[in-house]
């Protein structure tokens, strides 16, 4: 039985789990809460399964980022045009973000979501956290060698979490120092490469649980939010998903075709990462799969992909930092009858293109939205209007984020003549893979049977 299950394509397993999760979520919602208003047993079970999967994904993210960035910086010495690649990557991050935010603004002006909403402002809670441009500056400076930060919970306890932006700064500094030290740093780099191989292998084991995690995440979302919450914000939700679809299925294919690449082939290679991002709602948690498909399926050289993909996972957010804040800012302005000028729309574009880096160390598109509203001088209370459907929107936003994180390295590699076109067109490695110790534990394809 287990052997037959392992022969089922990974994407098919996730799709089946998504359908089962949807059905179980509808059943759980039909059962309703227990007498004291707490979730019923089925909702609690789905929630536990989904949260456990996301926690398992995130627990190894910190060592993955540190080791991957250090190794990628060290590997840049093998690339003759490293500075040009880095510049081209950032340039295309900005270009695609500008296109995405333009689509968001256009849809906001076309649909006028704030004037077509029946949501009750008094019934919504204000956001618990906000963003500012100072977050970017303070987030660059590590408070400690591990990039740890503490946060107080409502119950009085204190939790620790990793600041992703600080981890990247630390890893870049260590990687550059290792390059400068030269030969004496080789033993250290050998240890880091071995650690990266181990972390990637453990993370891949966790990713193989994606069908189970999908069942829990989708089931809990349906059971908790249902479709009723979309009623009062239907125009806004529809505009967001229309914008996401335009970027993912129109803009990205046009850019690929303009560079002589097959959009269908690109989607076939990148789809496992896009699919996992949709159900997990975590670009960082999807990072191992994104990096894997970018290298193994799309033909981007490892020395470049190991630099560009981790960077994109924290700063390349066409969904969360471009389309969504543009539409949401227009929604809030229209809801509170605030007229926006041409300057305001230009500010939205600027914040969306540049501001994603300011939220790299903070979780969620809510912080990016508060940053946009603060820059425009719009009421921050407007964020609370959209919190009810944020998890539903976040699935689509994260999928587009991850798609962009795989797209830009592919385009840049093609422009610089380093893309393995044979691998891209075939979807299979052009040469047999090296042993696990040399590849960082990355297997040949994305089917559980080969894990």
CA–CA dist 401, 364 (Å, integer): 12
Residue 254 confidence (pLDDT) above 90? yes
Instruction: Name the token pair of 5.
Output: 């299950």
Is 247 or 142 the better-scoring residue by pLDDT? 247
Q: What is the pLDDT of residue 277?
A: 87
Specify the residue for token string 């820059």.
375
Residue 405's pLDDT band (cuts 50, 70, 90):
very high
Task: Inform me whether the pLDDT recorded for 412 exceeds 90.
Answer: yes
Label residue 257 by pLDDT band (50, 70, 90). Answer: very high
Give the model confidence (pLDDT) of 69-91 as tens digits.
788 777 767 666 777 888 899 89
Residues 343-351: what's their mean pLDDT? 84
**What pLDDT does 165 receive?**
63
pLDDT digits (tens, 9 = 90+) for 159-198: 455 666 677 778 888 888 988 888 899 999 999 989 988 9
Q: How confident is the model at residue 225 (pLDDT cuts 50, 70, 90)?
A: low
State the pLDDT confidence band at 128, using cuts at 50, 70 and 90: very low
Residue 443 confidence class, pLDDT cut points 50, 70, 90: very low
pLDDT at 150: 55
Summary mean pLDDT of the chain: 77
Q: How far apart are CA 421 and CA 83, in angstroms?
A: 23
Looking at per-residue pLDDT, the higher value among 127 and 77 belongs to 77
The C-alpha angle 403, 408, 411, rounded to 5 degrees, equals 120
pLDDT by residue (tens digit) across 281-304? 778 778 888 988 999 899 999 878
Q: What is the greatest pairwise CA distance in the chain?
A: 67
Residue 161 confidence (pLDDT): 59
Residues of the chain with pLDDT > 90: what percent?
20
Q: What is the pLDDT of residues 20-56, one digit of tens each?
A: 888 888 888 888 887 777 888 898 898 898 888 877 8
């Amino acid at each position: 039985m287990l052997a037959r299950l392992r022969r089922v394509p990974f994407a098919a397993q996730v799709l089946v789990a998504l359908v089962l999760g949807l059905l179980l979520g509808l059943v759980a919602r039909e059962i309703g809460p227990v007498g004291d208003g707490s979730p019923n047993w089925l909702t609690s079970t789905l929630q536990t399964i989904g949260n456990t999967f996301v926690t398992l994904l995130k627990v190894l993210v910190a060592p993955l980022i540190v080791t991957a960035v250090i190794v990628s910086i060290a590997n840049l010495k093998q690339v003759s045009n490293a500075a040009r690649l880095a510049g081209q990557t950032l340039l295309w991050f900005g270009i695609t973000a500008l296109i995405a935010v333009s689509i968001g603004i256009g849809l906001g002006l076309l649909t006028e979501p704030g004037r077509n909403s029946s949501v009750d402002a008094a019934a919504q809670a204000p956001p618990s956290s906000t963003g500012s441009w100072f977050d970017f500056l303070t987030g660059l400076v590590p408070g400690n060698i591990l990039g740890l930060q503490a946060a107080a919970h409502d119950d009085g306890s204190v939790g620790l979490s990793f600041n992703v932006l600080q981890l990247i700064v630390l890893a870049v500094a260590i990687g550059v120092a290792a390059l400068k030290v030269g030969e004496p740093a080789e033993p250290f780099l050998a240890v880091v490469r071995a650690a990266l191989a181990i972390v990637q292998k453990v993370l891949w084991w966790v990713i193989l649980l994606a069908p189970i995690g999908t069942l829990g995440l989708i089931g809990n979302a349906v059971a908790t939010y249902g479709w009723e919450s979309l009623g009062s914000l239907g125009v806004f939700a529809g505009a967001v998903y229309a914008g996401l679809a335009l970027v993912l299925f129109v803009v990205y294919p046009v850019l690929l075709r303009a560079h002589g690449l097959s959009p269908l082939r690109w989607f076939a290679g990148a789809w496992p990462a896009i699919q996992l991002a949709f159900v997990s709602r975590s670009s960082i948690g999807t990072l191992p799969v994104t990096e894997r498909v970018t290298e193994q399926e799309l033909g981007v050289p490892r020395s470049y992909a190991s630099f560009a993909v981790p960077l994109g996972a924290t700063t390349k957010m066409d969904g969360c930092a471009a389309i969504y804040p543009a539409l949401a800012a227009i929604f809030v302005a229209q809801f509170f009858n605030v007229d926006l000028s041409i300057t305001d729309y230009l500010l939205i574009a600027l914040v969306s293109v540049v501001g994603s880096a300011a939220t790299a160390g903070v979780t969620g598109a809510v912080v990016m939205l508060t940053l946009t509203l603060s820059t425009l001088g719009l009421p921050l209370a407007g964020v609370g209007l959209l919190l009810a459907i944020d998890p539903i929107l976040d699935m689509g936003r994260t999928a587009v984020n991850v798609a962009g994180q795989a797209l830009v390295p592919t385009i840049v590699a093609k422009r610089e003549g380093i893309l393995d076109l044979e691998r891209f067109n075939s979807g299979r490695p052009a040469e047999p893979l090296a042993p696990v110790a040399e590849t960082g534990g990355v297997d040949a394809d994305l089917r559980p049977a080969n894990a």
